[in-house]
Structure 1
Amino acid sequence: MKKNAPAIIVGGILLVLWEIVARMINEMYILPSPTAIVLKMWEFREALFTVHLPATAEVLAIGLALSLLLGIGLAIAMNSSSWVERAFYPLLIASQTVPITALAPIFVLWFGYTIWSKVLVTVLITFFPIAINTFDGLKSSKREFEELMLTYGASKWQVFKKLQMPSALPQLFTSLKVAVPLSIIGAAIGEWLGAQAGLGYFSKRMMTQLDGAGVFAPIVILSAMAIISVIILRIAEKKLITWRKD
């Protein structure tokens, strides 16, 4: 609790200032107050938490699962083969030069308002940090340790399992703590541009009605999802990486 006290104090101060400024401006469609946002969340609680939140969570779950599978798989392949590294590393970099907002409408044209247009946006955003960080983590294992294990008769699989993968775990968790908030942004972008349900879709619908509190309500839920996910990842990281100091 003591570790989180500074964040709680600063967050509380910012919320109070936000409430004061919003009441001074008194234009809720431009800057809704935190209390107005909470009231709006309560007003639309059934739609937000039983329809739109599950839709967004499904996109996030599928998108992150695919990003993990593809990102870790490609990182292992690049670590195992210099040819694969030379072939795919530049493509990874190039994939980040294309604006997501330009591709998202194309995905909607390809897949319509189905879940896959949003999943592809999520994968495109989260795949890069997972692949690059995991690859760098695998490369971070000390060469002399690898040679020592091989000298004692260890197989390449044993070197990977006992040395390279544990060395990559800190980088992998770092990439996940970056990828999870990015995946939420990706899902929201996809839902803004074309969806029939989801928190991003709800926010866009409220925007057309000039309902500022309604626009912010799903954003608050998305932010809470990101914070809770990162906290869970930090707990898992401490459980799995016991050799690193806090």
Structure 2
Amino acid sequence: MTATETPRAGARERTAALPGVLLAGAARGALTTLATVLAIVVVWTVFLRLVNVSPLVAKTPLDVWDHLVAGPDAAANRSALWPLLVRTLADAGLGFALGLIPAAAMSVLFYFSPAAEQAFLPTVTAFRAVPMVTVAPTLALVFGRGAAGTAVIGIAIVFVPALLTMLRGIRSAPRADLEVCRAFGGSRWTAFVKVALPHAVPTWFTAARITVTTSIVGALLAEWLASGAGLGGQMMRDANEFEFARLWASVVVLTTVCVAVYQFLALLEALVRARMGASR
């Protein structure tokens, strides 16, 4: 085997290992999700036993199970819940995508233009210090109570933490590797593609995992304060109407979805990193 064939053989081996990486990541994610749900149930049960809260308000895991699975009205309850969940996830997905993609683009812009970073980053960071619960009503008044207002609130919650995390990831590339790339005639763009971006991938996925859960919180906030749609609006109505079983069921479903989406992004990260290793 020649010297040029050895890297190609290694790349083929890494490519062939991708299905194994996918299966291992899926199994690990499923086990982690199950363990997280079980831990939440245990903490939930112990907490309700330690505090003195009326059973009318504080529902147990068994109450939620009856509401969604075992009770006589469980099928009707699930049928009423799923459309609301889909609407909330759609609102969250819109805010997540429209916040994460511009954050990635701006982090790259700041990497290539320190002047732009010095001009805009302090203002962007200062905006993060303003509590979103105070800004959201104003955004709803400006952009309306429909999809546009909900998306803007989601973007406002996702954009800043994603930008700061992604920018830190790009800056994590070893300076020695960047200098070696430039010493061999590589441009700054080549150094970014070959060195900075691969080192930033884990941090960028960290930004995605962090902000995907906050995007759901942003969607709920927008539905509470603006549109009144989705699970956010329904949860507010449930609290006012003393429908606490449905309220707790909504919280449990959202928590489970957040954990599952988080694990899916972790699986996607493992797959992308394995693929990038195979392509080298």
TM range (shorter): 0.7 to 0.9
* Residue 39 of structure 1: aligned partner: 66
Distance of aligned partners of 1:217 and 1:167 in 2 relative to their CA distance in 1, 3 Å threshold: same
Indicate the residue corresponding to 2:225 in structure 1.
Answer: 193
Q: SS of the counterpart of 1:200?
A: helix
Superposed counterparts of 1:130-169, under 5 Å: 130-169=162-201
5+ residue gaps in structure 1?
Answer: none
Asked which structure has the greater CA Rg, the reply is 2
Taking the aligned partners of 2:90 and 2:118, their CA distance within structure 1 comes to 34
Shift of 1:196: 3.9
Q: Deviations over 1:75-100 (max 9, x none)?
A: 01111111111011101211111111
* Structure 1 residue identity aligned to 2:245: A
The answer to whether the Cα contact below 8 Å between 1:200 and 1:218 also exists between their aligned partners in 2 is no
Instruction: Give the Cα–Cα distance (whole angstroms) in 2 for the partners of residues 154 and 59 of structure 1.
Output: 42
Preserved CA contact (<8 Å) 1:18 1:34: no
Structure 1 residue identity aligned to 2:176:
E
TM-score by length of 2: 0.78
**Which residue identity does 2:121 align to in structure 1?**
Y
Amino acid of the residue matched to residue 260 of structure 2? I
Match of 1:74 in 2: 106
**1:48 is matched with which residue?**
81
Normalised to the residue count of structure 1, the TM-score between the two structures is 0.88
Q: Which residue of structure 1 aligns with residue 209 of structure 2?
A: 177
The answer to whether the aligner puts 1:111 opposite 2:143 as a matched pair is: yes
1:27 aligned residue: 55
Higher relative CO (CA 8 A, sep ≥ 6), structure 1 or 2? 2
Answer yes or no: is 1:218 the counterpart of 2:247: no
| Aligned mate of 1:84, from 112, 116, 138 | 116
Q: Secondary structure at the match of 1:210?
A: coil
CA RMSD after TM alignment:
2.4
CA distance in 1 between partners of 2:221 and 2:171 (Å): 34
Structure 1 counterpart of 2:24: none
Deviations 1:39-72 (A, max 9, x none): 33434211210x2112111111111111121100
Residues 214 and 9 (structure 1), Cα distance of their counterparts in 2 relative to 1, 3 Å cut: closer
Q: Tell me: CA distance 1:9–1:115, structure 2 relative to 1, closer, same or farther (3 Å).
A: closer
Give the C-alpha shift of residue 8 in structure 1: 6.0
Asked if 1:13 is matched to 2:42, the reply is: yes
Matched, 1:127 2:159: yes
Alignment coverage as a number of residue pairs: 241
CA contact (8 A) 1:37 1:217 kept: yes
* Alignment check: 8 A CA contact 1:19 1:34 kept: no
Q: CA deviation at 1:157?
A: 2.2
CA–CA distance in 2 between the matches of 1:12 and 1:124? 32
Runs of 4+ in structure 1 off by over 6 angstroms are: none
| CA contact 2:146–2:227 (8 Å) conserved in 1 | yes
Structure 1 residue 178, shift from structure 2 partner:
1.0
Identity %, equivalent residues: 24
CA distance in structure 1 between the partners assigned to 2:120 and 2:62 by the alignment: 49
* Inter-CA distance 25–66: structure 2 relative to 1 (3 Å threshold): closer
SS in 1 for 2:227: coil
Question: Does the Cα contact within 8 Å between 1:134 and 1:175 map onto a contact in 2?
Answer: yes
Measured after TM superposition, the shift of residue 122 of structure 1 is 1.2
How much does 1:35 deviate?
2.2
- Deviates most, 32-41 or 143-152: 32-41
CA deviation after TM superposition for structure 1 residue 240, in Å: 2.3
- Pairing partner for 2:91 from 49, 53, 59: 59
